[in-house]
Structure 1
């Protein structure tokens, strides 16, 4: 008697053995990435890109060549606007890593493909057809921190939205207040998007050296940017007096505004009308809306607030090591590329240097 499930499986594999082999490769690569400690989001992004790359080429990996990488890159550069250097480098790195997996002798993909199709995968990426990581900072030149006037305009517009909603008697004033305070907190503590979105009430802590801020002197970041498949990095960000206005607003949000959402079942600091944690997408959408209403440069992004935090701490005179620890950078060089101090600050430094070098010689010093 024929076993029906096995017969059906044999029929499927006989109909499309190439697709079955490709799917098996991706399944194996997924398991390898999880074993390396990569997050589920990263693994999904990587495998999804390889599927799109295969679809764009119309060929399976055992037929890929170095020319395919170059043609694919050229097509992305011909788009309007062309893909950024960092984006292309990321694509090339993903293809390189996948081909490394397929050609690694510790796996048997070469033997299986040769037996089934008479050919096998090769590494199609090399130093002459891929983008290298040549600079610490690969963002577009238009990306920059806010100026002080732009910051004032942005936060003023965020506050005005709350007032306009209240005056019109419409719903949404509480949500607008939340968004305004969220962005002020991002700036006042130099947070990344995910770091801000993932904050819980328990992450707001006291600093014994700053009793005037009670339970809002420290923000404990638990979802900092991970490195090379490691877990999210943690750090504690101290409140500084130059941003005490934002700390007062944070206290008002936690103790008076947030309870009105009646979200008793979540500890999330920033919650939606549905009593769930705010999404990254919401942060980006609301930031862009306020920025555009304020008439500001469209190249300013939510991450620009973090750049502004670094720049302004330096201008306020905080040591570079302190700033580095505040924002969670492993290297001082990374903090340096975030810094874009104003002309006023540079002029003050220059004036100090001129006074030090060319100051009048004290009377009688050279006698």
Structure 2
């Protein structure tokens, strides 16, 4: 078997056992979300399958050259052609960096636990990533997206509540679908209703909702959720699917895409579109970057400051179009 042809099912049993020990550790002791844990497991099984294709059966068999070869393989696959005759597709620099982060975390854990003597991944650098500014849509386009979910159908009320909440709070899609009914709280400080969001590492933050999102949530909770909930097992989840179970991340993303299609919103969307728009519109409105940092749940203000670059670019573009001496 060539390394490029490796799949997760080819991973040697000893490597799989070591990976399962690690993912249990990050789930139970580090409090990572189920989505994060699943991503770590997926990345590491792919890595284990690759090094298994090189003949490595135990964690101690893996060398620093194997780690480097894995990163190279991600960016320039050498596996066989698929059934259509196409070559395997390379992963993006950001995906390769994420996978390497998973690999480095696993090797570091094995050393900390005394399973390995040295960390063969510690010196491996991720591929350079192009600097990309987050994509936000205009306030007018946000309003069109929200109005696409007008109506009294239970699922339409749910969709409106979901989109209003995403834009009002800047929540990640995964954070929104992880909400329980009890996470919508009354705040005695002047902001009215707020939501309790759990970010990366289960770090908690309280974010105000605002009148529009509050009204949309009230309509959903009173007129829609009670009709959907009996279809499934009892669940504390705030947002429910058509069968009464917690709404999945994929379904939430389909809600956004379907709303955009209904109003023929011809803009590039991603699961983070409303989050990026929330941050960009706050910065444009004069909000302090550190306040936006807290609302977004960023560990570092440097992550939030990229939104100041977005607005600076918009100002430069407006100047270039409008100033008589710009051209």
Normalized against structure 1, the TM-score is what?
Answer: 0.65
Task: Give the deviation of 1:342 after TM superposition.
Answer: 7.8
Q: Are residue 308 (structure 1) and residue 277 (structure 2) matched?
A: yes
Give the corresponding residue for 1:107: 114
Q: Figure out how many residues of one structure are paired with residues of the other and give that number.
A: 291
Contact 1:146 1:308 (C-alpha < 8 Å) held by counterparts? yes
Q: Are residue 238 (structure 1) and residue 208 (structure 2) matched?
A: yes
The CA distance in 2 between the partners of 1:301 and 1:309, in whole Å, is 14
Q: Are residue 219 (structure 1) and residue 194 (structure 2) matched?
A: yes
Flag structure 2 segments of 5+ consecutive residues without an equivalent: 1-10, 78-87, 319-327
What is the RMSD of the two structures over their aligned residues, measured on CA atoms? 3.7
Task: Give the deviation of 1:306 after TM superposition.
Answer: 1.2
Contact 2:165 2:209 (C-alpha < 8 Å) held by counterparts? no
Greater Cα shift, 187-196 or 315-324: 315-324
The CA distance in 2 between the partners of 1:177 and 1:260, in whole Å, is 11
Q: Using a 3 Å threshold, how does the CA distance of structure 1 residues 151 and 75 change in structure 2: closer, same or farther?
A: same
Q: Secondary structure at the match of 1:46?
A: helix
Give the corresponding residue for 2:66: 68
The CA distance in 2 between the partners of 1:125 and 1:51, in whole Å, is 16
Contact 1:220 1:234 (C-alpha < 8 Å) held by counterparts? no
Contact 2:157 2:219 (C-alpha < 8 Å) held by counterparts? no
The CA distance in 1 between the partners of 2:112 and 2:295, in whole Å, is 44
Give the corresponding residue for 2:286: 317
Matches within 5 A, 1:341-352: 341=311
The CA distance in 2 between the partners of 1:254 and 1:108, in whole Å, is 50
Contact 2:22 2:106 (C-alpha < 8 Å) held by counterparts? yes
Normalized against structure 2, the TM-score is what?
Answer: 0.72
Contact 1:218 1:239 (C-alpha < 8 Å) held by counterparts? yes
The CA distance in 2 between the partners of 1:346 and 1:19, in whole Å, is 55
Task: Give the deviation of 1:248 after TM superposition.
Answer: 2.4
Q: Using a 3 Å threshold, how does the CA distance of structure 1 residues 126 and 105 change in structure 2: closer, same or farther?
A: closer
Contact 1:92 1:131 (C-alpha < 8 Å) held by counterparts? yes
Q: Secondary structure at the match of 1:270?
A: coil
Task: Give the deviation of 1:107 after TM superposition.
Answer: 2.6
Q: Secondary structure at the match of 1:341?
A: helix
Q: Using a 3 Å threshold, how does the CA distance of structure 1 residues 125 and 299 change in structure 2: closer, same or farther?
A: farther
Task: Give the deviation of 1:28 after TM superposition.
Answer: 4.8
Contact 2:195 2:209 (C-alpha < 8 Å) held by counterparts? no
The CA distance in 2 between the partners of 1:22 and 1:343, in whole Å, is 47
Aligned counterpart in structure 2 of residue 276 of structure 1, from 245, 249, 270 = 245
